């Protein structure tokens, strides 16, 4: 069992890393948790003596188990099964699944599996969003603002994410696969 002073240091280091990784300010995290900013500042300095309720609230706001807040330094390794990552169908014959199963601020990272002949319309984003599609297997046709772009294995297409766009596997006999990366625009920028 760690000495209580070590646990406070682990909490401080882990909280700073988790908050920074999510691009949250102390004020934003405090607001989400319903605690004063000084509570977060004290936890991050190692001077805090939080209640279990505060620890659970902060862990919940950061979407991590409480032990991740309190743990000693270690390699942060986690494996997800396909069922834990999840997937959902979209359009006709297209399955989407996250490329990274944890939230990535200001980005959307998806693997797109196309059944033979499968296709879907893209969702327009705010002006300033940028989309990148990499064809990993087969062929994918992407229509962007009325223009047709045919991609083969290894091809990458970049386009503004706020314009109408659609994806199609033109091959009626073979599946296709690609990766979509959307860099979201910040609201009000």
Burial tier of 113 (Cβ tally within 10 Å: 0-12, 13-18, 19+): buried
Residues 6+ apart with CB under 8 A from 176: 113, 114, 118, 135, 137, 138, 139, 140, 169
Common-topology check for domains 4-70 and 82-183: no
Could you give the CA distance from residue 45 to residue 142 in angstroms, rounded to a whole number? Answer: 50
Model confidence at 147: pLDDT above 60: yes
Could you give the CA distance from residue 154 to residue 139 in angstroms, rounded to a whole number? Answer: 10
Other CB atoms within 10 A of residue 152 CB? 11
Looking at every residue in the chain, the average pLDDT score rounds to 89
CATH of domain 82-183: 2.60.120.10
Could you give the CA distance from residue 8 to residue 71 in angstroms, rounded to a whole number? Answer: 10
Residues 6+ apart with CB under 8 A from 25: 19
Model confidence at 21: pLDDT above 70: yes
Burial tier of 121 (Cβ tally within 10 Å: 0-12, 13-18, 19+): middle
Instruction: Select the more confidently predicted residue: 143 or 123.
Output: 143
Question: Could you tell me if residue 80 is left (phi over 0), alpha (psi between -120 and 50 degrees) or otherwise beta?
Answer: beta
pTM, entire model: 0.60
* Domain 4-70: homologous superfamily in CATH: lambda repressor-like DNA-binding domains (1.10.260.40)
Model confidence at 1: pLDDT above 60: no
Report the Cα 56 to chain-centroid distance in Å.
22
State the DSSP H helix or E strand holding residue 7, giving kind and residue range, or none if neither.
helix 4-21
Which range among 11-20, 59-68, 109-118 has the greatest average pLDDT? 109-118
Looking at residue 4, what is its pLDDT? 65
Looking at residue 189, what is its pLDDT? 46
Q: Residue 76: pLDDT band by 50, 70, 90 thresholds? A: low
Tell me the domain boundaries of the chain.
4-70, 82-183
């Amino acid at each position: 069992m760690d000495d209580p002073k070590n646990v406070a240091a682990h909490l401080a280091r882990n909280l700073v890393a988790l908050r920074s990784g999510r691009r949250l300010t102390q004020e934003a995290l405090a607001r989400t948790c319903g605690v004063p900013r000084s509570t977060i500042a004290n936890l991050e300095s190692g001077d805090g003596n939080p209640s279990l309720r505060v620890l659970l609230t902060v862990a919940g706001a950061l979407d991590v188990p409480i032990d991740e807040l309190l743990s000693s330094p270690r390699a942060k390794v986690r494996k997800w099964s396909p069922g834990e990552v999840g997937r959902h169908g979209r359009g006709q014959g297209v399955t989407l699944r996250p490329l990274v199963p944890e939230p990535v601020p200001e980005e959307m990272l998806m693997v797109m599996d196309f059944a033979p002949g499968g296709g879907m319309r893209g969702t327009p984003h705010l002006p300033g969003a940028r989309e990148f599609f990499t064809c990993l297997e087969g062929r994918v046709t992407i229509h962007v603002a009325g223009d047709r772009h045919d991609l083969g294995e290894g091809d990458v297409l970049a386009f503004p994410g706020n314009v109408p766009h659609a994806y199609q596997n033109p091959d009626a006999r073979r599946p296709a696969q690609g990766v979509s990366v959307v860099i979201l625009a910040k609201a009000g920028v």
